[in-house]
Chains A and B, each alone.
Chain A
Amino acid sequence: MAGGLAASYGTFFAYSGRFLYPARPAERGWMYVAVANDLQVGDALTYRTPAGAGVTVARQGDEGGVGDFIALSSVCPHLGCQVFWEANNDRFFCPCHNGAFDPSGKPKSGPVAEANQSLPEYELRIEDGLLMINVELESLVSVSTRQPRDERTA
């Protein structure tokens, strides 16, 4: 009796839990960013992933390889808010909990500095002179009802 109750209700609750748990992680893929040589040392652009996340892609070297480039996520590693660039302070700033990062994404102050959390980097590669980025392909929640601001586009 006890075994039957445990098995039947256990199955029910296990299936219910699995039903509520998300099905699978978002798929990733390689997307075009820019012609590599169009970016000079010191140049940066904001790339929008298909999911809508902002990525700062910058050229920091002139060695001729993918190592010249860096792609920084705009998602703060502390608790997931969006950072923005503060030109006057030469830093990325997270308004949620006052995290600050230098231009290379290294933590400068706030909880991220105490935990030594840098801005996440995206993987890059160069294919036939084209700079490609590895990003999530699934869309975030719809933003189609609103007109994006000019500065949001790459």
Chain B
Amino acid sequence: MASIVAWFRQRIPLSGVKLRELTNEPVPNHLKTWWWCLGGTPAYLFVVQIITGILLAFYYEPSPQTAYESVRYITEEAAFGWYIRSVHKWAATLMIAAVILHQIRVFFTGAYRKPRELNWMIGCCLLMCTLVIGFTGYSLVYEQLSYWGATVGANIADTVPFVGGFFKQMLLAGETYNERTLPRFFILHAAVLPTVMILLITIHIFFIRLQGVTEFRFGDEPTDQPTHYQFFPDHLMKELIIGLVLMILLSALATALPVTMGPPADPLTTPEVIKPEWFFYATFRWLKMFTGVAAVLSMGFIVFVMFIWPFIDAAVRRFLPRSEFSVWVGILGAAAIIGLTVYEALVVH
């Protein structure tokens, strides 16, 4: 046994002490609060998505003739297929919610400010990737919502001046949805976007390690106590508890509210009432309120402002150092998104 250990030690010259030094970064005390663990939650859910996604890919067949039937087979015939697909769906829902809440928390605590502007921008890219991977995910089922969601999404891209037509062609592999469209959505969903997200998450975590976690002090904190605690084992244990709670929650949701099959895609008939997934309700309502180009360009502008917000905020604070400008903008933005989402959820058309 000792010789085997020695054999590995020679080839992997990393001692336990060195490993502890590498991983055991002191963590600020405020991370003991559950609200501050929203960064690790989507990362954990992303791992769940990769595992369940690989399992689903064993049966899924990405062509218009076979996609719906293969998803029906997974859901209704394959052993525990309903469970794997339901966990995939619920983990996606929770992941999107967790990423949005994480972004909101970072915004309202000003954790995007110097020197963390680049990490905020990477976080914005991750939010966009999460939304797009959600969109391409429900496009794969090839039910009515999948087909018309993909059609509307591609036509939204088409309204962008100059480059829109190119993106629509690249997304659909033609002018309209055709035989070659679904494989593209599958490759985007199962290969391109996960690869991009893994790269972005790696850079995101690398920047956190380089700059350290943003530190906050609260009024009721005792001043004579240590301001930090150890990552290993204290914080790791907390993350494991989160992982346990999430897995129980996912299993409970998958069992109590399993995913079902909608009507199969019919390229000849748009349903009389059609809505996207909840995370696109605000966008969907926005598209109803304005003309195509105005709606798409204004949405693009809002996303761009969010992307460069650290620099806008820094400019405002230069002139008004005590201003609560960003907080009020955040409240206004959150209220608008929640308002549009609730409105879209309540009305038929």
The finding on whether chains A and B are genuine partners in a shared complex, rather than unrelated, reads yes
B349 near A95 with CB under 8 A, answer yes
Q: In the assembled complex, how far is the CB of residue B153 from the closest CB belonging to chain A, in whole angstroms?
A: 9
B169 near A21 with CB under 8 A, answer yes
B292 near A115 with CB under 8 A, answer yes
B169 near A142 with CB under 8 A, answer no
* B287 part of interface (Cβ distance < 8 Å): yes
Q: How far is the CA of A140 from the CA of B274 in the complex (A)?
A: 21
* B156 part of interface (Cβ distance < 8 Å): yes
Sort chain B's interface into a size bin: 35 or more
Sort chain A's interface into a size bin: 35 or more
B65: chain A residues within 8 A (beta carbon)? 142, 144-145
Select A96's contact among B154, B177, B274, beta carbons within 8 Å: B274
Select B267's contact among A83, A97, A141, beta carbons within 8 Å: A141
Q: In the assembled complex, how far is the CB of residue B163 from the closest CB belonging to chain A, in whole angstroms?
A: 13
* B258 part of interface (Cβ distance < 8 Å): no
Q: In the assembled complex, how far is the CB of residue A148 from the closest CB belonging to chain B, in whole angstroms?
A: 7
Number of A-B residue pairs at CB separation under 8 A = 103
A22: chain B residues within 8 A (beta carbon)? 169, 172-175, 180
B172: chain A residues within 8 A (beta carbon)? 22
Contact with A along B161-182 (1 / 0, CB 8 A): 0000010011011111111111
B150 closest partner in A (C-beta):
A80
B169 closest partner in A (C-beta):
A22
B287 near A79 with CB under 8 A, answer yes
A contacts with B: majority SS: loop
Contact with B along A54-80 (1 / 0, CB 8 A): 100000000000000000000000111
B52: chain A residues within 8 A (beta carbon)? none
Q: In the assembled complex, how far is the CB of residue A82 from the closest CB belonging to chain B, in whole angstroms?
A: 4
* A35 part of interface (Cβ distance < 8 Å): no
Q: In the assembled complex, how far is the CB of residue B241 from the closest CB belonging to chain A, in whole angstroms?
A: 44
* B340 part of interface (Cβ distance < 8 Å): no
Q: How far is the CA of A22 from the CA of B137 in the complex (A)?
A: 22
A103: chain B residues within 8 A (beta carbon)? none
A141: chain B residues within 8 A (beta carbon)? 64, 177-179, 181-182, 265, 267
Select A110's contact among B174, B264, B288, beta carbons within 8 Å: B288
With A52-B268, A141-B177: A80-B151 Cβ-Cβ less than 8 Å: yes
Residues of A at the B interface (CB closer than 8 Å) are: 20-22, 25-26, 48, 51-54, 78-84, 94-98, 110-111, 114-115, 117, 138, 140-146, 148, 152
List 6 A-B pairs, minimum CB-CB distance, nearest first: A115-B291, A141-B64, A79-B155, A82-B270, A80-B155, A81-B270
